[in-house]
Amino acid sequence: MSSFSCSSCGHSSPRWFGRCPECGAWSTATEPPQQRAGERLDLSVLAATTATPERIRTNVDELDRVLGGGIVPGAVVLLFGDPGAGKSTLATQLMAGVARDGRSALLISGEESPQQVALRAQRLDADLGDIRIASSRSLPAVISTATAERPDVLVVDSIQTLEDPRFDQSAGSVVQVRECAAALVAHAKASGTSMVLIGHVTKDGTVAGPRTLEHVVDVVLGLEGDRDHALRLLRATKNRFGPCDETGVFAMRKDGLHGVADPSSMLLEDRCDGVIGSCVFPGSQGSRPMLLEVQALVSRSEGGQPRRVAMGIEQRRLALLLGILSKSMRLKFGTDDVFVSVAGGIAVREPAADLALCLALHSAKHDLALPPKTVAIGEVGLGGEVRRVTNVERRLTEAHRLGFVRAFVPPGTERAPRGMRLHCVDHVGAALARLERVETAV
Ligand code: TYD
Ligand code: MG
């Protein structure tokens, strides 16, 4: 272990030196300060420590479910999403819900004036109790106000508008976002105030901002959805106090966000059987299955570079599946434009959707609709093999509930709901061959 270091260049050496062998400076050897004994820590017996914190219910049912029953006092929740996703709306509903139980809420709005916020609240027809609001962008002012007011829940909309005057950078820069969040987290822990920090992300989610905060907060919630569609998904990607695979489903209506009990029906409302390039995939969002329609369009390219456009599906996943179909099935898309999307503006991140996407691509390429009332589940490996995925039974039950009678599933799937026909396929080629047989039989 080195115990001396040069105060000029940082060179370290196990022995004292008069002249630094590295930079040649004299008398720069310094000994690191000795670690002093600190205070002894108070220990608790883990088994005797209560592990179920009391929670503040937000009375927005879908939100409470995702949080694991409500917000824990002193916890900091980061709520992020694209502009227009409905973050401010959800935060207003949350404050109204908290106020309904006689708790206090304080909103710091750096983006909107109190009048604008009041206008939104009117639309929601929410009972606002005595929710207080201030428009401010100054971190010290926010902390002093929160210290004096001691609200049960403090909402900051948004963290990118706050500024700590100790730093030169402008609001929204990585340094400001990080420092302001750190100060707020420290305040939350010291005072027991629960906080919701709202943050924007851009479409690709790459802008440094809220993402850099994920490790300092207790809970990270993402609100997803397309502005052109009503459906919104609220997903927990981190939760120190509850489940983190839970998903809340809302519909944005003219009077705010409403919980959706049966998202599958809502998503399949406009779907007709017999459409070319369409396949239904029973997705699994947290504890609830949700049927999604995967669509593909293949058309002759007008020249130039053929286009590959994926909406709601990762671009790389599409490229991979096209590669697999081309290599193991000789299904070539060479000069075709290929578009894929998920109806309803939902993003699918599960590899379990691979098989459905392959069937949709095959259908689009050959202008042949899938047999009616068919779903497909399965991850497709690089060799075209179909792999098992989680929750197959639950997915099939949901598909059956909505009237589907045929399912392409990974090998080893045994239990099917009564009246549902299973095709266990171990390779994407087997699925396509089976499909052709079914098509000729129909
Ligand atoms: P908003 O909550 O302001 O989004 P964010 O804070 O994430 O940027 O609202 C987003 C959109 O939702 C806005 O374009 C208007 C619409 N909206 C409704 O459709 N119904 C409503 O009741 C409200 C309040 C907003
Ligand atoms: Mg907003």
Q: Is 181 helix (H, G, I), strand (E, B) or coil?
A: helix
Q: What is the pLDDT of residue 202?
A: 59
Please return the burial class of 379, using the count of CB atoms within 10 Å of its CB with bins 0-12, 13-18 and 19+: middle
User: Does ligand 1 come within 6 angstroms of the Cβ of 229?
Assistant: no
Omega cis (within 30) before 194: no
DSSP readout, 268-304? HTT--TT-TTEEEEEEEETTEEEEEEEEEEEEE--SS
User: Does ligand 1 come within 6 angstroms of the Cβ of 327?
Assistant: no
Closest among 333, 352, 380 to 290, alpha carbons compared: 352
User: Does ligand 1 come within 6 angstroms of the Cβ of 85?
Assistant: yes
Q: Ligand 1 mean position to 89 CA, how many Å?
A: 6
User: Does ligand 1 come within 6 angstroms of the Cβ of 89?
Assistant: yes
User: Does ligand 1 come within 6 angstroms of the Cβ of 378?
Assistant: no
Q: What is the DSSP letter of 442?
A: -
Residue labelled with tokens 């106090």: 241
Exposure string for 403-429, b = 16+ CB within 10 A, e = fewer: ebbbbbbbeebeebbeebebbbbebbb
Q: What is the pLDDT of residue 206?
A: 42
Is residue 362 within 8 Å of 325, Cβ to Cβ?
A: yes
Q: Ligand 2 mean position to 132 CA, how many Å?
A: 17
Q: What is the pLDDT of residue 2?
A: 54
Mutate to test the pocket of ligand 1, among 89, 227, 234 (most ligand atoms within 8 A of CB): 89
- pLDDT 10s digit of each residue in the chain, 442 long? 557 888 878 888 888 999 989 889 898 888 877 777 888 888 878 887 776 778 999 999 999 999 999 999 999 999 998 888 999 999 999 999 999 999 999 999 998 999 999 999 998 877 888 899 999 999 999 999 999 999 999 999 989 999 999 998 888 888 888 899 999 999 999 999 999 999 987 555 544 456 678 889 999 999 988 888 899 999 998 999 887 778 899 999 999 999 998 888 888 888 888 899 999 999 987 777 899 999 999 999 888 889 999 999 999 999 999 999 998 878 888 889 999 999 888 889 899 999 999 999 999 999 999 999 999 999 999 999 999 999 999 999 999 999 999 999 999 988 889 999 999 999 999 999 988 777 666 5
The closest-lying atom of ligand 1 relative to the alpha carbon of residue 256 is 22
Is residue 359 within 8 Å of 277, Cβ to Cβ?
A: no
Q: What is the pLDDT of residue 139?
A: 96
Q: Ligand 2 mean position to 309 CA, how many Å?
A: 29
Closest among 392, 320, 389 to 361, alpha carbons compared: 320
Mutate to test the pocket of ligand 1, among 252, 254, 257, 258 (most ligand atoms within 8 A of CB): 252
Q: pTM for this one?
A: 0.81
Q: What is the pLDDT of residue 211?
A: 66
Q: Is 65 helix (H, G, I), strand (E, B) or coil?
A: helix
Closest among 346, 359, 352 to 279, alpha carbons compared: 359
What's phi and psi for 322, nearest 5 deg? Answer: -65, -40
User: Does ligand 1 come within 6 angstroms of the Cβ of 256?
Assistant: yes
User: Does ligand 1 come within 6 angstroms of the Cβ of 24?
Assistant: no
- DSSP-derived pairing of the beta strands 256-259 and 247-253: antiparallel
Q: What is the pLDDT of residue 95?
A: 95
Q: What is the pLDDT of residue 435?
A: 84
* Nearest ligand, measured from the Cα of 158: 2
Q: Ligand 2 mean position to 314 CA, how many Å?
A: 27
Q: Is 234 helix (H, G, I), strand (E, B) or coil?
A: strand
Is residue 344 within 8 Å of 295, Cβ to Cβ?
A: no
Is residue 20 within 8 Å of 9, Cβ to Cβ?
A: yes
Q: In whole angstroms, give the CA distance from residue 80 to residue 61.
A: 19
User: Does ligand 1 come within 6 angstroms of the Cβ of 87?
Assistant: yes
Closest among 297, 296, 435, 294 to 371, alpha carbons compared: 435
User: Does ligand 1 come within 6 angstroms of the Cβ of 123?
Assistant: yes
Q: What is the pLDDT of residue 72?
A: 94
Please return the burial class of 52, using the count of CB atoms within 10 Å of its CB with bins 0-12, 13-18 and 19+: exposed
